[in-house]
Amino acid sequence: MQGLREKCGIFGVFAPGEDVARLTFFGLHALQHRGQESAGIATTDGRKLNIFAEMGLVAQVFDEDTLAGLPGHAAIGHTRYSTTGSSVQCNAQPFLIKGALGELAIAHNGNVVNADVMRVDLESRGTRFETTTDTEVLGHLLAEAAPSNWQDGFTTMMRRAVGAYSLVILSKEALYAVRDPLGIRPLCIGRLNGHGWVFASETCALDHLGADFVREVAPGEVVRVDEHGLTSTFPLGDPAADQALCLFEFIYFARPDSKLDGQLLHPVRMRMGARLSEEHPVDADLVIGVPDSATAAAIGYAAASGIPYAEGLVKNRYVGRTFIQPDQRLRERGVQLKYNPLREVIQGKRVIVVDDSIVRGTTTPRVVKMLRDAGATEVHMRITSPPITHPCFYGVDMATRGELIAANMDVDAIRDHIGADSLGYLSLEATVDATGLGGGRHCTACFSGVYPSEVPLQFDKFALESEASRPDHEIPMVAAAPATVPLTAR
Ligand code: AMP
């Protein structure tokens, strides 16, 4: 099955004298929400790389013995959400790759849209692949393009790779952190105990380790840390003007206690809720959020509308994401296993329910029914994002556009499908406004169909149909060569 795939979490640390494997374990644990399928850590002691990666949650994969087998002064780690399939185990990251300059370990968050073309090219020149991921393509590109020094390797890799890649890379001597020129996926830098350096997908991982936030890795930047300290280069020239940080990170993915581009997400989400109440007001008795991701937005909606906020749904925190169930029947049951309504709160009330997104339309009708069964007299659904009409090629993939409910139905039809009394989506303009960062800094492709890079045409047959309505500055869709092997995203 090619389902919706979640983004991954990456972490890196360079800290001589510290237990870097354990620090990485804690860092990955803080990033567990970004991927629950596999976890892995690689370390270097200056002489060789050590690696351990397996399927499962971070705390299931690692124990005292496995951590003790990862000595060194620098480490990288990865938590991954992948699709089901026989190759999943071998796709667990970090990967070890042998190249002209020796071994390297690589961990990746994002999705490279032209990986299949580059893979065919590398294979024709004799490269053998052990996994089906775009990450391995990046690793080989780097390793094989670096005949004399790493800098050449990064320049070649970044010239050729199109799409999203936040990377942490470990050689025997150094730790590298890399962000694609559009900065589609986040990556930040922290200082640990005054002498170490930390890299993480989200700032919440720095907080848990007591590391101080220094700055984000800039779009197009390669940061290198070794015993001499930190150096920064931009292999493709100065930082690109057009940044495209994923808007969905602000809406759903990142934790509310993380900062993205300097903005703490909890107040960002409260602002989204407040704007939603202005754009879609309705008379009601209560505002509730679908926990946990929409809680901040529901509080914001309630505060701005003057309608009381209440906890109306309790979430069982130990149920995995409903999304990751392999078939629709299990996914539907998942919603029921995950939420339980508080009948005493809801009974006889007109309820506004805030959620962050409707993707396939699996969760929302079940939530609405659950609330009606618990005695709600009216259920008004409010969504803190615009309708998702286009697939993401940068780390959250849909197999077909046909799976996206908003690509196939208008808002009235979706309202009928979910069984709500009313349905309101936040406008794209208000969603972007709520980030506090101004326009032109985000990737809005899943809402707008405007992709910040070329994307493979074969994945989105509808894209050309809407081409005429696209803004002039947009790069046209191009067809990538047919994939010989399905490439999976991290
Ligand atoms: P759906 O049930 O397919 O309409 O998905 C919408 C629900 O899933 C919402 O409650 C979201 O909070 C949540 N959600 C949105 N995107 C994702 C994702 N990539 N992975 C897991 N859950 C998601």
pLDDT score for 333: 72
According to the model, what pLDDT value does residue 488 have? 34
Contact between residue 397 and residue 4 where contact means Cβ atoms under 8 Å apart? yes
Residue 188 tokens, joined: 């930040």
Task: Give the side-chain half-sphere CA count within 13 A for 187.
Answer: 35
**How many A from CA of 68 to the centre of ligand 1?**
37
Residue nearest (by alpha carbon) to ligand 1 atom 11: 357
Residues of the chain falling short of pLDDT 70 = 1-7, 82-89, 146-148, 240, 320-332, 397-400, 457-490
> Catalytic residue numbers?
8
Q: Which atom of ligand 1 is nearest to the CA of 396?
A: 19
Ligand 1 atom at minimal distance to the Cα of residue 335: 2
Nearest-CA neighbor of 367 among 312, 299, 303? 312
Residue 208 CB neighbours (<10 A): 15
Helix (H) or strand (E) holding 428: helix 428-434
Which is nearest to 452 in space by CA: 268, 180, 211? 180
- Is residue 239 a contact partner of residue 183, using CB atoms and an 8 Å limit? no
CATH code for the domain defined by 8-243: 3.60.20.10
b/e per residue 78-114 (b: at least 16 CB within 10 A): bbbbbbeeeebeebbbbbbbebebebbbbbbbbbbbb
Task: Give the number of the atom of ligand 1 that is nearest the alpha carbon of residue 4.
Answer: 19
Question: What residue type is 313 in one-letter code?
Answer: L
Counting ligand 1 atoms within 8 A of each CB, the residue from 249, 357, 392 with the most, and so the one to mutate, is: 357
Rounded Cα distance between 201 and 206, Å, is 10
d(CA 21, CA 65) in angstroms, rounded, equals: 11
Q: Indicate which atom in ligand 1 lies nearest the CA of residue 331.
A: 2
Cβ of residue 362 lying under 6 Å from some atom of ligand 1: yes
222-236 pLDDT tens trace:
999 999 999 999 999
User: How many whole angstroms separate alpha carbon 386 and alpha carbon 393?
Assistant: 18
What's 86's DSSP letter? T
Separation of alpha carbons 51 and 408, rounded Å? 45
Task: For ligand 1, say whether the CB of 323 is within 6 Å of any of its atoms.
Answer: yes
The three-point CA angle 431-206-14 to 5° equals 130
> What does residue 403 show for φ and ψ, rounded to 5 degrees?
-75, -20
Nearest CA to ligand 1 atom 3: 360
* pTM, to two decimals: 0.90
pLDDT score at 147? 59
Domain ranges of the chain: 8-243, 267-434
CATH of 267-434, one of 3.60.70.12, 1.10.357.10, 3.40.50.2020, 3.50.50.60: 3.40.50.2020
Dihedral sign of CA atoms 47, 52, 53, 58 in order: negative
For residue 315 and ligand 1, the question of a CB distance below 6 A is answered with no
69 lines ligand 1 (CB under 6 A): no
Q: Is residue 360 within 6 Å of ligand 1 at its C-beta?
A: yes
- The CB-side HSE value for 357 (13 A sphere, CA atoms) comes to 19
For ligand 1, atom 9: residue with the closest CA: 357
Ligand 1 centroid to residue 139 C-alpha, Å: 31
Q: How far apart are the first and last CA of the chain?
A: 16
**Residue 382: predicted pLDDT:** 98
